[in-house]
């Protein structure tokens, strides 16, 4: 299954199978082996075989696979591969646009993580989130910007992208699925920008980020993990509740009530192992 707590999902190209064990050994919560953007058209079949060979050599491994989108000639063969390999525990579906596409992918028996990357996908967001088999959704900000013709990096583009991001969070909550994943930060060398983006995503209610390089994993995990100070505060709150049975009290000069207590519970539940 796909984890409820998912801070980092790291992409690795299926054309580089030697990188898959290394990706699994880093601290990413999940690894997504990519059959889509990272693979040229004439290398798709070989990439599928690489995944099959990896699964045979590492039968206890657990990976996600980003298949090619439903409009491509490779979609059915990608799904057939996912259907047969127990090591593949979930399908990442790019350019997801309809509930029917989700149903078709979910018929493999695998959980599905749709990526919203187009105006049509955003327009059908509620339908997609409510489809049986969807574990959570993710945002493909780069392809979405291309689809809408946004001026990448501009303040205007940020307004449009954040509007859609808000809808991802809201519709996920309404559908009762896990919080969504924020899109990638493309500049591998810009750690400051990555930290800012991860903090923004966390504040908006996203569960984590899609990552394109192992160097991003530790940074993103740190942002989305509770700090020692936060854990200490949460444990104090819960201890008072347990010892007194009260749901309204003061701690460090601030009022604590049921929403604050619930936040404390979540911090304790989601703290980094």
Binding site for substrate, residues? 66, 117
The β-bridge relationship of strands 111-116 and 254-256 is unpaired
Find out whether 134 and 128 touch, Cβ atoms under 8 Å.
yes
Known binding-site positions for Mg(2+): 117, 143
Do 114 and 135 touch, CB atoms closer than 8 A? no
Strand 181-182 versus strand 254-256 pairing type: unpaired
3-state SS of the chain is CCCCCCCEEEEEECCCCCHHHHHHHCCCCEEEEECCCCCCHHHHHHHHHHHHHHHHHCCCCCEEEECCCCCCCCHHHHHHHHHHCCCEEEEEECCCCCHHHHHHHHCCCCEEEEEECCHHHHHCHHHHHHCCCECCCEECHHHHHHHHCCCCCCHHHHHHHHHHHHHHHHHHHHHCCCCCEECCCCCCCCHHHHHHHHHHHHHHCCCEEEECCHHHHHHHHHHHCCCHHHHHHHHHHHHHHHHHCCCCEEECCEEECHHHHHHHHHHHHHCCC
- Cα-based angle 61, 64, 69 (whole degrees, multiple of 5): 150
Task: Tell me the binding residues.
Answer: 66, 117, 143
CA separation for the pair 131, 105 (Å, rounded): 11
């Amino acid at each position: 299954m796909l984890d409820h707590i998912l801070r980092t999902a790291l992409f690795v190209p299926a054309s580089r199978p030697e990188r898959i064990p290394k990706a699994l050994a880093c601290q990413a919560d999940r690894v997504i082996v990519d059959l889509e953007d990272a693979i040229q058209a004439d290398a798709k079949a070989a990439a599928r075989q690489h995944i099959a060979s990896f699964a045979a050599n590492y039968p206890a491994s657990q990976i996600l696979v980003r298949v090619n989108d439903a409009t491509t000639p490779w979609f059915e063969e990608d799904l057939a591969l996912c259907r047969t390999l127990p090591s593949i525990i979930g399908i990442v579906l790019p350019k997801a646009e309809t509930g029917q596409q989700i149903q078709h992918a979910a018929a493999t028996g695998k959980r599905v993580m749709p990526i919203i990357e187009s105006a049509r996908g955003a327009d059908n967001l509620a339908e997609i989130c409510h489809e049986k088999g969807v574990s959570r959704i993710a945002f493909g900000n780069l392809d979405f910007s291309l689809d809408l013709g946004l001026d990448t990096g501009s303040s205007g583009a940020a307004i449009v992208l954040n509007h859609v991001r808000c809808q991802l969070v809201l519709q996920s909550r309404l559908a009762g699925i896990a919080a969504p994943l924020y899109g990638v930060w493309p500049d591998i060398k810009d750690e400051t920008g990555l930290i800012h983006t991860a903090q923004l995503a966390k504040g908006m209610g996203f569960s984590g980020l899609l990552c394109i390089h192992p160097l991003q994993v530790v940074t993103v995990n740190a942002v989305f993990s509770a700090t020692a100070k936060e854990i200490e505060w949460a444990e104090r709150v819960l201890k008072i509740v347990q010892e007194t049975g009260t749901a309204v009290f003061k701690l460090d000069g601030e009022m604590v009530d049921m929403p604050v207590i619930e936040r404390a519970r979540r911090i304790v539940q989601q703290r980094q192992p």
